[in-house]
Structure 1
Amino acid sequence: MHRWGEWILGVTTKQGATMPGLTLQQDGNTLTGHYSSETLVEAEVTGTVESSQVIISFFADPGVGQEVPFIYERTVDGDGACTGSVDLAGRLATGTFRATKS
């Protein structure tokens, strides 16, 4: 399963739902790319791939006056989509997401 390319994330937290975009490039076990959300931020991302587990993270200011960590952990499903968890600002907000290739 290729993890690079353009993805749409359906993210749900207690604060609401959003659908950011994610563009990834893969070099071995390393991921780099760009995260874009109209409700939150734009940021450059880094990540790692280990078998079907993918972790992507970045720092951004979601409107609180300082940059905080965003961490997405996901497992690649058999249909090519991904599901996982999201941790914003060290568990200040948590939720789930489903990613599909666009």
Structure 2
Amino acid sequence: MPDNSSGPLQEGIFTGSGMGFVGEVELEVHFLRESPDSHPLIGQIRTLQSDEVREYWNRVIKELKPQVIDRQSTDIDTLTGATESSRAFLEAVENAMDKAYETK
């Protein structure tokens, strides 16, 4: 999980990338406020680019994406049989979170 010592996440859309089994994946992560007084939360994750084996990537999206959004964390176990694709997904989300922390 990224170091959030610089403060809360910034609202907005940030991209992140991670290296999978086949190659790099790129995600778009939306950080949204539920109310004007709340800190932004991960609200949506969208695949921009992935050359991962479709069967494995679809599993990652189906199983890991809701967990990341529900837990607001990337501290999640990878999927057996789709380990590298899982790692790429989580790395890309973390990369986007790092950018959201850096933006002022």
TM class by smaller structure: 0.3 to 0.5
- Higher CA-based Rg: 2
Which one has the bigger helix percentage? 2
Which one has the bigger strand percentage? 1
TM-score (norm 1): 0.44
- Say which structure, 1 or 2, has more relative contact order (CA 8 Å, 6+ apart): 2
TM-score (norm 2): 0.43
